[in-house]
Each structure stands twice: as structure tokens, then as C-alpha cells.
Chains A and B, each alone.
Chain A
Amino acid sequence: MSKGFLWFAQNNDKTDYVDLSIKLAKSIKHWNKENKVCVITDDKSKFESKHVDIVRVLKRDNSEDHDIKWANEYQAFALTPFTHTIKLEADMAWTTNTDWWWNHLWQHDLVLSVGCRDYRDNIIKETPYRKLFTRNHLPNIYNGLMYFRRSKKAQQFYSIAQDIVENWEAVKSTMLIACHDKYPSTDVVFALAYRIMDPTNESLIDYEWFKFIHHKPAVNGLTRVKDQNNYLWPNKTGDALYIGERRVSRVWHYHDKELNARIF
């Protein structure tokens, strides 16, 4: 029985996701004892790093000609080498030990993070970024932090996600209202897949500790600020990460790649 972290890293013209991945892997290994890491990448982004235990190369790259590489995330279930997997996104950082999570997570087949947190640790349920979710009655889940175990339920979930991705044009025009995403954005795909599986959210597990800090201005309540990074000045002192007046100790989805170069 193995457990570990998995995410995708496919470089594009703008972002070196491999670099972000190595730094994320390093931060996970720094904090956690259970710290096996697998990164899924493509031929062009193939890499080796002492911080990443397993690098798997996509055999079938659905986003080869996409500017934003979203279309492969449904393959997480098929490609994970672990029995118990926490799936992440590359532009994240670990700030605390989370080994205890496994004791809760592995009792379930599928756990998604529902809602997110601001840098002050408040749970944020509604943001202007999620109007599409509200309009379409999709569960407010984030694929940036989710858990699945090798199970029929998880397999079904990822299989529905695959169908959505492979039929994205039809899905967005016939199943979703006001969806104008050119490529299948993973949060929407996973939310729709979950809604198809569990329309009433009866089995949706919402752990208050299983949420990341989403570093976006409207989540942080800083839409009036021109540059939230300049305002909050995220910085690292030793092991401690500070954002604004707060020391944060949750998974940080920094989102803004400029911060990667500056902080880590």
C-alpha cells in the first residue's frame, strides 16, 4: 500500500512548470515524512531531480497543441503509481507537516477540497472567479488539492472526466451555460464530473483542513489593491512563510509564477 503526491508539469511558452514542480517537491520533502512524489510530464518537459521520486512521461498528450495544458489531468488515475494519491498543482508550496492527513483521507475513495482559504485563514466559499460554477450549479471544488484511492468510485470519476475532456466542444456548448473556456479547465471538468456522479453532493466530503490558500486578489479581499504581491509582500524567513501580517501554515497555491522566482 503506497501513498504519495502527484501533479502534472508540462512547460509552456510562459512558465517553467518543471522548475515549480521541483520546488514543490522540495517543500513537501522538507515538511513531510510521507513524501513520495510523482510528476507527470510530457516529452518536451522530461526531467530528473533528486526531489522527485518518479517522473512519468505522458504517452498520449491531449494538450500537445494547447497553450494551456489542462487536457491531461484526467489521466491522473491511470498514471499514478500510488494506491493513495494526493493530487496537486505545480504552482503550490508546502508550509507545514501534513502527514496526519492520510489517516483521514484513506478512509475514503475521493476527497476534493471544497472552497479555499484566504491568507488570513478564512474559508472562502464565493469568489467572482467562480461565477460559472454558480451559474451551472457545480460543486465548488478545486482540483489543486484532492485525494483519491485506487477504487471503483475514483475510476468512475476520472472516466467521466475523460469523457468530458474528449468531448469538450460539445460539453461546453450543450451541457454548460455560459462556458467560454477554449480548453477544458480542470476545475470545471472535475466539478461537472462530480456533479454527474453525485448530483446532490450527498457524498461530497468537505474537510475544513483540506483546503489551500488561494492567492488571488478577490479571495484575499484585495480587489482594490493594484498589486497584491507588493501589498502583502509574501516572504520566507527560515521555514516560515509570511503573507501580509500573517504567518501561513497551509498549502499555498501561489498561482502567480513571479513569486516562485522571488521566494523559493
Chain B
Amino acid sequence: MFCFDTSETKYHKVLERCVVLAKKNLKLPITVVTNLDTFKKIKPLGFINYKFIDPELGNTKSGKEWNNVDRHMAYELSPYDTTLVMDIDYFCFSDNLLQYMDTGYDFLISKNAHDLTNRNSFDLRRWSMIDMVWATVFVFRKGRKAKQVFDMIKYVKSYYSYFLDLYRIRDRRFRNDYAFAMALEQANGFISYDTLPINLPTLPPDCKVVKIDDNGIAWQYKDQINFIQNQDVHVLNKEMADV
């Protein structure tokens, strides 16, 4: 997991919730990549590993600081043979992801997200020539192929604006989702690549999280309150840190 606080968002609070759920449901050893400033604010979370790096700054999202550029270092930073890389805003209310930790695949990532409000708001086909992947959750097994993919991600990152033009991607910010998609496309010889057979259950940013407990999450969308249980959820509204 990667976690860096910004001046606007207390990501360490999101991490705290995420780690508790991951420990409970996945029961995997956890390594958090963070910086010292963020680390100092994280409450004691039991036995987990920390790796310290200085995040690459400069990227923004809606005018706010967005420290998301370091995901390409997951291969080098991971101490594990098989690694599940997960956004800290992905809450594991189930052990579903465990089944992908022991497959014959070297690199698996999800291509689809399921909008939990049923508005199909993640159909991004028209905004680029390639399918976007969701770098929210991916699994890799250390070896030649995974290394090639990560090397390619680094290459894509180095020439990101060129690749944005090549694949006619509208979003000009650096997004891991596109960087990974482009790298996988390139590294796999421009043919299909292996993906996680799941649609990531995702809560759009306009849904306000009102409650989180050990089993599920409740949110408000317009004048409605909804609740989901025993189902992993990717929460895009970062204000949930204060819930």
C-alpha cells in the first residue's frame, strides 16, 4: 500500500481503516510505503512493515496535491514473491482477493469497475483509444515478465505526454490507470493481456460515506442512504477519512 498525506487530505486515516480490514479479511503480511511525515501520524497498527521514500511531487487532481506517481516502484519496494498492491481507499470487507495470490499469472489487474450506484459512470471508452485499467488493485509475481511490465511502466512514465498523445488520452494528468494500461499494451505485444476476472465495486466521488464498520459501508447519494456488506468497496470520495 502507498500512503502519503497531502495538505488537503489525511490519507493516513484512510490507511488506518484499510489496514485493519485487510488484516482481518486477507490475513496477509502488509508493507506500507510512506514518508516520515505521514508515518508519524499513523496510529499503531500492529505488526506491519514500513518502507520510506520521498514521494515524487507535482501531480494534481482537481487542483489538489496528488501523490500517486510512485506506484511504478512497487516491484522494487515489495519484499514479497507475490504481491497484492492495493489503494488505501480499497476496503476489503471480504477475502475475495486472496484467490488471486496463488495463480499461475505473473501480472493481473482489473479492467472494469462496477458503479455501486448503478449509473455506469466508469465507462471511459470514449476518453481514450485504449481501455483503462484500474491500478487500484493488482497482483504481480516477481519474475521476468512482471519485471518487464514494471520496466515498461517506468518507460511510459518517462515519456508520458508522448504516450498520452499516442493513445489519444484526454486526461492530461499522470494516472497510474493509464500508465499501467499503456505499459501492458506495449509489453504484451499489442495483444490482450491477463486481467483480474472482477469488476471493482466502486463508489463514485459524489457519494458521501456516512458510516464504516467491520462488515460494510454506508453512503449518501443525493437524498438516499445505501449500505453494502461483506463486499469489497473502492471509495473515491476522500472525505471519508474523517468519518
Q: Which residues of A contact B (CB under 8 A)?
A: 120-121, 221, 224, 231-232, 242, 244-247, 249
CB of B191 within 8 A of CB of A247, answer: yes
**8 Å CB contact of A245 from B125, B126, B129:** B129
Least CB separation from B131: chain A residue: A120
CA distance A231 to B191 in the complex (A): 18
Q: Which residues of B contact A (CB under 8 A)?
A: 125-126, 129-131, 167-168, 185, 189-192
CA distance A232 to B190 in the complex (A): 13
CA distance A48 to B17 in the complex (A): 74
CB of B130 within 8 A of CB of A221, answer: no
CA distance A224 to B191 in the complex (A): 24
* Given contacts A221-B125, A224-B126, A249 and B191 within 8 Å (CB-CB): yes
CB of B129 within 8 A of CB of A121, answer: no
Across-interface contacts of B190 in A (CB, < 8 A) = 242, 245-247
CA distance A231 to B168 in the complex (A): 9
Across-interface contacts of A247 in B (CB, < 8 A) = 189-191
CB of B192 within 8 A of CB of A231, answer: no
CB of B129 within 8 A of CB of A244, answer: yes
Q: How far is the CB of A217 from chain B (nearest CB, A)?
A: 13
Across-interface contacts of B130 in A (CB, < 8 A) = 244-245
CA distance A77 to B185 in the complex (A): 43
**8 Å CB contact of B192 from A121, A224, A232, A244:** A121
CB of B189 within 8 A of CB of A245, answer: no
CA distance A231 to B125 in the complex (A): 14
CA distance A246 to B188 in the complex (A): 10
CA distance A234 to B131 in the complex (A): 18
CA distance A120 to B131 in the complex (A): 10
Between-chain CB contacts (< 8 Å), 12 pairs:
A120-B131, A121-B191, A221-B125, A224-B126, A232-B129, A242-B190, A244-B130, A245-B129, A245-B167, A246-B190, A247-B190, A247-B191
Across-interface contacts of A244 in B (CB, < 8 A) = 129-130
Least CB separation from A242: chain B residue: B190
CA distance A249 to B192 in the complex (A): 11
* Given contacts A221-B125, A224-B126, A231-B129, A246 and B167 within 8 Å (CB-CB): no
Across-interface contacts of A232 in B (CB, < 8 A) = 129
Across-interface contacts of A249 in B (CB, < 8 A) = 191
Q: How far is the CB of B162 from chain A (nearest CB, A)?
A: 14
Across-interface contacts of B167 in A (CB, < 8 A) = 245
Least CB separation from A249: chain B residue: B191
CA distance A167 to B168 in the complex (A): 50
CA distance A121 to B167 in the complex (A): 18
User: Besides the contacts A121-B191, A121-B192, A246-B190, what 7 more A-B pairs have beta carbons closer than 8 Å?
Assistant: A242-B190, A245-B129, A245-B190, A246-B191, A247-B190, A247-B191, A249-B191
Q: Which residue among A224, A231, A247 has the maximum number of chain B CB atoms within 10 Å of its CB?
A: A247
Least CB separation from B125: chain A residue: A221
Q: How far is the CB of A60 from chain B (nearest CB, A)?
A: 45
CA distance A145 to B126 in the complex (A): 30
CA distance A121 to B189 in the complex (A): 14
CA distance A120 to B125 in the complex (A): 13
CA distance A224 to B123 in the complex (A): 14
CB of B192 within 8 A of CB of A245, answer: no
Least CB separation from B167: chain A residue: A245
Across-interface contacts of B191 in A (CB, < 8 A) = 121, 246-247, 249
